[in-house]
Amino acid sequence: QKEVEQNSGPLSVPEGAIASLNCTYSDRVSQSFFWYRQYSGKSPELIMSIYSNGDKEDGRFTAQLNKASQYVSLLIRDSQPSDSATYLCAVDATTDSWGKFQFGAGTQVVVTP
Partner 1 sequence: EPEVTQTPSHQVTQMGQEVILRCVPISNHLYFYWYRQILGQKVEFLVSFYNNEISEKSEIFDDQFSVERPDGSNFTLKIRSTKLEDSAMYFCASSDEETGSGANVLTFGAGSRLTVL
Chain residues that interact with partner 1, rule: CB under 8 A: 31-32, 34, 42-46, 49, 51, 88, 90, 92, 95, 97-106
Q: Please state the closest distance from residue 61 (CB atom) to partner 1, in A.
A: 14
Q: Please state the closest distance from residue 15 (CB atom) to partner 1, in A.
A: 27
Q: Which is nearer to partner 1, 17 or 67 (CB)?
A: 67
Q: Which is nearer to partner 1, 77 or 100 (CB)?
A: 100
Q: Please state the closest distance from residue 68 (CB atom) to partner 1, in A.
A: 19
Q: Which is nearer to partner 1, 39 or 80 (CB)?
A: 39
CA-CA distance, 28 to 13, in Å (whole number)?
32
